[in-house]
A and B are shown apart, each in its own frame.
Chain A
């Protein structure tokens, strides 16, 4: 609802650091961002990164190939813990994606113009994270090549998905999310593709960018249609920020397993998703702005804002933990009480206490300005948060399943090296996609950055349709 005028926002106001350092013009913004792709020498760090990420992607390929050959028995899953790391990783990755959509769609509709310098790469992060997330349930199917059976299509086997199962809702939620995110990201890229087309020296690059630019000439009519489409897509993407992780939370809550069946799960999952997503945004933004000297565009203000959103959503997540524990005590249900006991004192207690220590305790360091304005500290906090959020999903999935209603069927789950190889492989594949993206596409939106300039003042700000 904040009506920060672009110019005012840029200047900072109220003693805050600016969103864009003064001194830029239309031309210098274009030069600076497009040079990263077209003319500047690729930093050595990029090659090192691609090397490592490529190797890890090879690990993923190997783990997945062996899984196809051998079956899901190579993983540690058993009875009663049928879900294991595959689902832990699925929830973790898809949660990370949410921050990108929140930045690109919701903050656009709220006219938060500071988002203009981070929305492009945050959205790319979303797409790549959803790609990793989507892999896991597919591999977990056992016979991944029959994945299309999940879709309701007319077939001679009269097999039809069970629409009452949230696992089927997931198929729709995730595939819709991926499609809309991809289209939204691409539409946003079109004017920048045209800029690169016009500036590329290399003939092949020029042709590729020309195809991607869809014949963009920058006429007033183009801009008008572009902005309309962009706003409509933002409107479509906004409910997805809430709905996707809500549906993921239904995967758990619709069942009556203690530790899964809790009414707070939908908003608490959404908050957790945004929390971990912003941690990933910071993990990516802090080194990138350093390596590519982008401190003028991704300023301390951005880091500060991201950290504040992380803190707020982290506190909501903590509210969820405490409500769950309180209600088990208050309601006095035997199984609920046992679940809490099992979390605190059972075989996985170390993981539970680590996540509580971080998400309820440690995250409060973000209250201090010093942490929010020291990029190295902030990067470390983000990393710790990502670990804690992974542990949270592990506790939800594994601890709940390990000891449910029947003591005779309790069990222990220990991930095998194939579980770990798949997980670490997806981190590598994610990094590889991201590194390739920043090499060939403008990681900051050239067109949108210009609306932060004082010379854009006469232009009416984007009006939201809602």
Chain B
């Protein structure tokens, strides 16, 4: 416990560069958002398609961080101590995502994004009318969306509030509340996210159903959150006393976890592909046919190589996992791959015939990510970079010095 007392005197505020980065991110985000707004006026339909991509991209690290945080609390391992504040800051951006959900609902009401909300599509598709009448319609879509955000909001609120309470001395005994909330919370997360991606992404092709779909997105969110945490941890590693918390050993752990998520993503995606392909049923196979034709197929292959083969092969090396700098570059690469995977999942539903990469597909995700990053850095700067009263911190420090 003496190491705690010693640590408390140290300066655990974020480095000044983070303030500059925050300013820059917000500025870039604002400029790009203006450009995107112009795009929205010029081509509203296309803008809504790109917007969904941007929304799903930013949702990843936010909810992924919440899920990872709950896993940390639940398993009580010390691997999460070093990145706990990063995850909390990412989870804290949830209000922005809730606000960002509004345009998607408006898009649904204005028939801009979902086929089941479009009377034109409903006219000559009896099956779709049936689906729309009981599940896929704008009002229920909105109601469910509100429900998901309330569930996530409540969990994020308590995790953050208790965490702030834990920061204030006097020192408390290990807080059992985190564990209790996390046990239930991880289940709530699993269910709500599953139904959210059915609503927001899978329903773009209403006749397509896949029972593993939610799991693929859960893994994707965990992966992008972990990659973000690794990048930020790399930046913090050399900053003052953080070097005692974030050691080679920590990065080795993050590397192993990233490898696990990469393998799980490949396992789930491959299972879905093999089962749908071999079944070859008309209502399912179209989804894949749209995604393996022409340039979409090239993108699919790029995902196999870039999202699985390359990171998998590299991450097998222990030396690489222990090298924070190299691991950081893998994390950057994987965030790009997450973007590509979401693009490949979402956009062919709008544009099955051919891949048309439009400027909004880049600008809108960039704009939202930049704003998200600004918000995230603001959250991160507000509190000490380490949870000094985390019961696992002492154990971690003892081991780092072994």
Instruction: Spell out A's residues near B (CB within 8 Å).
Output: 1-3, 5, 8, 14, 242, 246, 250, 253-256, 261-267, 315, 319-320, 323-324, 327, 330-333, 367, 465-466
Contacts and interface: CB of A to CB of B under 8 A. Distances in A.
Contacts of B275: 250, 253-254, 261-263, 265-266
Contact of A333 (B190, B276, B283): B283
A5 B399 contact: yes
Contacts of A250: 274-275
Given A254-B279, A330-B135, A263 B272 contact: yes
A315 B207 contact: no
B215 A264 contact: yes
Interface of B: 75-79, 127, 130-131, 135, 174, 183, 187, 190-191, 194, 198, 207, 209-215, 253, 256-257, 259, 267-268, 271-272, 274-276, 278-281, 283, 316, 318, 391, 395, 399
Contact of B211 (A242, A323, A332): A323
- Looking at chain B's contact residues, the main secondary structure is helix
Q: Please list the 8 inter-chain residue pairs (A to B) with the smallest Cβ-Cβ separation, ordered nearest first.
A: A264-B211, A331-B209, A2-B77, A263-B212, A266-B271, A323-B211, A1-B79, A263-B210
6 contacts: A1-B256, A2-B75, A262-B211, A263-B275, A332-B130, A465-B318
A266 B194 contact: no
Contacts of B256: 1, 466
B78 A3 contact: yes
Contact of A2 (B79, B130, B267): B79
B268 A1 contact: no
Contacts of B271: 246, 263, 265-267
A411 B280 CA distance: 26
A13 to B, nearest CB: 9
A330 B209 contact: yes
A306 to B, nearest CB: 16
A247 to B, nearest CB: 11
A119 B256 CA distance: 23
Given A1-B77, A3-B78, A332-B131, A267 B268 contact: yes
Contacts of A262: 211, 275
B181 to A, nearest CB: 14
A255 B210 CA distance: 15
A333 B135 CA distance: 15
A261 B274 CA distance: 11
A204 to B, nearest CB: 46
Given A2-B78, A14-B76, A330 B267 contact: no
A132 to B, nearest CB: 27
Contacts of B207: 331
B399 A263 contact: no
Contacts of A256: 279-281
A422 B202 CA distance: 45
A287 B191 CA distance: 37
A1 B213 CA distance: 27
Nearest to B276: A263
A323 B214 CA distance: 9
Contacts of B391: 14
Contacts of A2: 75-79
A295 B295 CA distance: 63
